[in-house]
């Protein structure tokens, strides 16, 4: 099976990208499965001034692109898919997406969060500011 990985990471936000970087650096066959744009909420933030190592600040898209490239440079694979079901009792574990099936010896959940909207005027326009 070509879709068998040592490490499958569900979610491509900062936590998932960090896990992928360390997994791939450790020479594990590693894949990140992300349904949207990698980076999670951080990628939607125009200015980041409180991220370790970036005292002068950076942008969310810039930071998360660098994190993705770091993981990819070590050999992680990015899979664009939406997960529809899991079988975590099988060995290897089975992750089913809309585009295919993936198998992993280990699965990390790094699904992130979605902020609750207040539905007040200007909220959408100012999101990420």
Full set of structural domains in the chain with CATH = 4-125 (3.50.50.60)
Digit-coded pLDDT (tens) for 38-74: 877 777 777 877 777 777 878 888 888 989 999 999 9
Q: In terms of DSSP bridges, do strands 77-80 and 83-87 run parallel, antiparallel, or are they unpaired?
A: unpaired
**pLDDT value of residue 77:** 97
**pLDDT value of residue 25:** 97
Please, what is the average pLDDT of the chain? 89
**pLDDT value of residue 83:** 95
Q: What share of the chain has pLDDT > 90, as a percent?
A: 57
In the predicted model, what is the mean pLDDT of residues 111-128?
82
127 has a pLDDT exceeding 80: no
Among the listed residues 47, 51, 46, 41, the one whose alpha carbon sits nearest the alpha carbon of residue 13: 41
Give every strand in the sheet of 77-80, ordered side by side: 77-80, 30-34, 4-10, 101-109, 93-97, 83-87
In the predicted model, what is the mean pLDDT of residues 83-87?
96
Write down the H helix ranges in 1-129: 14-25, 60-73, 123-126
**pLDDT value of residue 113:** 77
Digit-coded pLDDT (tens) for 92-110: 999 999 999 999 999 999 9
Angle at 107 between CA 102 and CA 113, to 5 degrees: 105
| CB of 35 closer than 8 Å to CB of 112 | no
Q: Which of 70-75's residues contact partners 24+ apart within 8 Å by CB, and which partners?
A: 70/17, 70/21, 71/17, 71/20, 71/21, 71/24, 71/30, 71/32, 74/21, 74/24, 74/25, 75/24, 75/27, 75/29, 75/30
Q: pLDDT confidence of 1, banded at 50, 70, 90?
A: low
């Amino acid at each position: 099976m070509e879709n068998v990985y040592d490490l499958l990471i569900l979610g491509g936000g900062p936590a998932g990208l960090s896990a992928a970087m360390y997994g791939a650096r450790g020479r594990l066959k590693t894949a990140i499965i992300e349904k949207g744009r990698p980076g999670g909420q951080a990628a939607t933030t125009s200015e980041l001034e409180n991220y370790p190592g970036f005292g002068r600040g950076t942008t969310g898209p810039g930071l998360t692109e660098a994190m993705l490239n770091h993981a990819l440079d070590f050999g992680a694979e990015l899979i664009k898919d939406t997960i529809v079901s899991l079988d975590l009792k099988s060995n290897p574990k089975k992750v089913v997406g809309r585009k295919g099936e993936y198998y992993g010896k280990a699965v990390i959940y790094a699904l992130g969060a979605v902020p609750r909207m207040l539905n007040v005027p200007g909220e959408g326009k100012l999101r990420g500011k």
